[in-house]
Amino acid sequence: MDPVICLAKKVETLKRLETYGYQIAFYILQNEDLAIEAIKTVLIELSMDDKFFRKTLTDQLQIMKRTSMNKSIAVKQNCLIRHLRQAEVN
């Protein structure tokens, strides 16, 4: 397959799923900046998984949901750790 077409297909797929992932991240985090941080990591991770792009839309949505939830929780954990460290300094 032509790498440019493959890249275009990846971009198209990720754009189609981005809003869904963002909604999940925002629901969990209740913060726009943190949700954006989470969805960026989701999109980067999924963009490197060629198997993801061969799956059905239903499977892609399921993977997007699970990955968005996991990354959102990780972002929240990192945020809490930063706040705890900052509180220790003060």
The yes/no answer on whether domain 3-89 falls in CATH 1.10.1740 is yes
Contact between 61 and 17 under an 8 Å Cβ cutoff? The reply is: yes
Domain positions in the chain: 3-89
> What is the total residue count of the chain?
90
pLDDT tens for each residue of 25-59: 999 999 999 999 999 999 999 999 999 999 999 99
- Residue 7's nearest CA partner among 50, 43, 66 is 50
Residue pair 4/21 in contact (Cβ under 8 Å)? The answer is no
Query: pLDDT > 70: what percent of the chain?
Result: 94
The answer to whether the beta carbons of residues 35 and 26 sit under 8 Å apart is yes
pTM above 0.85, yes or no: yes
Mean pLDDT, the chain, whole residue set: 94
Strand, helix or coil for residue 72: helix
